Structure 1
Amino acid sequence: MEFIEYGKKGQIGYITLNRPEKRNALSYEVVTELKEAFSEASQDDGVKVIVLRANGKAFCAGADLGYLQQLQANTYEENLEDSNHLKELFYQIYTLDKIVIAQVQGHAIAGGCGLVSVCDFAFTVPEAKFGYTEVRIGFIPAIVKVFLLRKIGEMKSKELLLTGELISADEARAYEIVNKVVAASELEEMVESFANMLISKNSKQSMAFTKQMIAKVQGMSLEDGLQYAAEMNAKARASEDCQRGIAAFLNKEEIKW
């Protein structure tokens, strides 16, 4: 791939944005390669947790503005196809059957902040700035809005999406966009340690089921959500992982996932 690097360390799959000269801005080709990399990591039985990271000073500056300018000559149908392309990437990450951790070493702006928002966990450095700046260039944060409302609620989303203001890493933590602010010298080690904790202590299947349910249940009525939860509960009880886990607990044995 030209713009994305994919590699593994143990059971961690690393997907790295590698377009530092463009601040890792998103274009059709970059989104295509990201989708391919996440598909590869999802299908790799040797990968249990995925880390999304970037090379260079910025994590991701959002859409490539030169690319957006070119799209202005497109028809509505062509622009819809391009928009669906990004939508599919965000949905893919949000519903992927593996945990995705964002390792944010620099600014995450507009679509870049959207990438962080759809990951399951996010760790960042104090120097990073975050924001959804689309309204400041006459654009709209259309796709990320759907996920951000779920993540942080309406009031906080309105503050960020309607003002277009950039916020600090500590503010992003307060808004619950990121989980932790870590010194740059400790970021990589902290993310790797957290990923390995998930790998060693948790069932891969249980994390996949739980993530799937979080994504689905919010769009259901109370009754439908509870019925879905009961069905998943019953399904999990019959799983090999649940049988192994309960047996190990009762026998006071340490289980190796």
Structure 2
Amino acid sequence: MTYTTLTIEREGRVATVTLNRPDVRNAFNETTIAEMKQAFSELGDDAGLRAIVLAANGPAFCAGADLNWMKKMAGYTHAENHADALQLAEMLRTIYLCPKPVVAKVQGDCYAGGMGLVAACDIIVAVEEANFCLSEVKLGLIPATISPYVIKAMGENASRRYFLTAERFGAQEALRIGFAHEVVSAEALDAKVAEIVKALVNNSPNAVQQAKVLVREASGQAVNDALLADTAERIAQIRASDQGREGVASFLEKRKPAWLN
């Protein structure tokens, strides 16, 4: 597929997907949504990859929905609006369910739907200068399609405030409420992302994938007999897996595991 709103670069076992519409602050439209879904679907299935970085070109990470796209939506019927919203929802789900770990590299402001893109990622690194805003209610709208991911990322309490007030908040506040994992200077952004990616690449690819699924499926579950049985089954299966056996053997034998060769 030829991409017109994204660039995709590969270096070794890492792919970087870059939003590339700096003239509109990387706001997304229906083309961006389709291309993002395709890109993460293909990269997620690529056995040669260990990690994906989601980045953006220009001073802003993502301003949310493109104004021209919003103008088109203003004339949509209910059915057309529903179908359009489902496309965005499916794109976000593709990122969230991607088998590869995804690191968001937030180099600038991140608003509205842009926060949904970031929240669907696994690890979020932002520069100190970045601002965040869930601005939908200012326009008479709600952050509906992005809400499952944003609420998971920042929690119900913070979501209640920022969904309702549409206040802009800075990177340190994003860190405090748990939306961002790391906040660094602009000069340190590349190095911090590289450090995290290196840690991901050095780990067992199968274990990283299964750990991502574990967090997603165990989160919020009651600690009952069913959960105990489920988690016991997961560890039993991965202990018996090729990479599970290799990881333990390499540790005991004080050598590098095969997946690092």
* TM-score under structure 1 length normalisation: 0.95
Distance 1:185 1:164, change over 3 A: same
Q: CA deviation at 1:221?
A: 4.7
Aligned length: 256
Aligned runs of 1:1-257 on 2, under 5 Å?
Answer: 1-200=3-202, 202-218=203-219, 220-223=221-224, 224-257=226-259
Q: CA deviation at 1:256?
A: 4.7
Deviations 1:118-174, CA, capped at 9 Å, x for gaps: 111111111110121111111101122222222232111111111111111111111
Deviations 1:163-213, CA, capped at 9 Å, x for gaps: 11111111111111111111112211221222012212x111111111112
Distance 2:112 2:104 in 1: 15
Q: Is the 8 A contact 1:170 1:181 kept in 2?
A: yes
The one-letter amino acid paired with 2:209 is A
Q: CA deviation at 1:220?
A: 4.7
Distance 1:3 1:189, change over 3 A: same
Q: CA deviation at 1:227?
A: 3.2
Q: Please list every run of 5 or more consecutive structure 1 residues that lacks an aligned counterpart in the other structure.
A: none
Q: CA deviation at 1:102?
A: 0.4
* TM-score under structure 2 length normalisation: 0.93
Q: CA deviation at 1:108?
A: 0.5
Distance 1:25 1:148 in 2: 18
Q: Please list every run of 5 or more consecutive structure 2 residues that lacks an aligned counterpart in the other structure.
A: none
Distance 1:26 1:205 in 2: 32
Deviations 1:43-81, CA, capped at 9 Å, x for gaps: 222210000000011100001132122112112221111
Distance 1:114 1:99 in 2: 16
Distance 2:232 2:71 in 1: 49
Superposition CA RMSD, Å: 1.5
Distance 2:253 2:184 in 1: 38
Distance 2:221 2:187 in 1: 43
Q: Is the 8 A contact 1:95 1:215 kept in 2?
A: no
Distance 2:191 2:219 in 1: 33
The one-letter amino acid paired with 1:149 is I
> Match of 1:50, SS?
strand
Distance 2:77 2:222 in 1: 38
> Match of 2:53, SS?
strand
Distance 2:114 2:231 in 1: 33
Distance 1:36 1:6 in 2: 12
Q: CA deviation at 1:219?
A: 6.1
